Amino acid sequence: AQSVTQLGSHVSVSEGALVLLRCNYSSSVPPYLFWYVQYPNQGLQLLLKYTSAATLVKGINGFEAEFKKSETSFHLTKPSAHMSDAAEYFCAVSEGQGGKLIFGQGTELSVKP
Amino acid sequence: GAGVSQSPSNKVTEKGKDVELRCDPISGHTALYWYRQSLGQGLEFLIYFQGNSAPDKSGLPSDRFSAERTGGSVSTLTIQRTQQEDSAVYLCASSFAFTEAFFGQGTRLTVV
């Protein structure tokens, strides 16, 4: 069975600081991995995805994530946080690009001025 | 439409009543998913439709929950005899073949 663990339900950073949101996965088959962002009262928006091509994946809004098979991790980073990055972030795994997604519990990112 | 549309956006119902939640996927998308988002449980997979294949119902929490997809397009999630623990945001998503899923803004269900 597949699963996702996001370390830290809440992360707070200062504006301009590095953002690091952690995600570890468990999968019996090569995984497809995703990061989604959810702004208040909105649906989920895809930030980036890993589909077995390059291990460093670049997404929208300056975010990127690195797939590390040896660590079963897919951490999300952004070099410099912006106030508009404040939202909830979800890591997800699926057995295929179009298969059902198994989500982590989410990490709420706060950005302090 | 341009995106996944869900209706109603908010629904308040009395315990024991039945409710129907509607999802209009992006035109041409072959796959449709329902998820439930609640404070204690995070984002839970409910059901997945892919083309003409039998739906994956493995996430439905009880037999009070059912969903159908008519004509390969619009989907309705039905909850019978609602309970307070059914209160949550119900999210629908669609995708084309095996590409990434696009989500609607959800229906917030409150059972009183």
Whole-number Cα distances in Å, A61 to A44, A80, A84, B42: 15, 11, 10, 24
pLDDT at residue number B52: 84
Which residue, chain included where needed, has tokens 């519990």? Answer: A105
Mean pLDDT of B29-49: 90
Interface probe, candidates B60, B90, B100, chain A, greatest A C-beta count within 10 A: B100
Taking Cα atoms as reference points, which of B74, B90, B66 lies closest to residue B11?
B90
Contacts of B105 in chain A (CB under 8 A): 41-43
CB contact under 8 A, A96 and B98: yes
Q: Report the sign of the C-alpha dihedral through residues B83, B112, B40, B91, in that order.
A: positive
Under DSSP, the state recorded for A71 is G
Rg (CA), chain A: 13
Pick the range with the lowest mean pLDDT from B13-22, B30-39, B92-101: B92-101
Picking from A49, A100, A106, the nearest residue to B100 by CB comes out as: A49
Confidence of residue A27 (pLDDT cuts 50, 70, 90): confident
pLDDT at residue number B1: 53
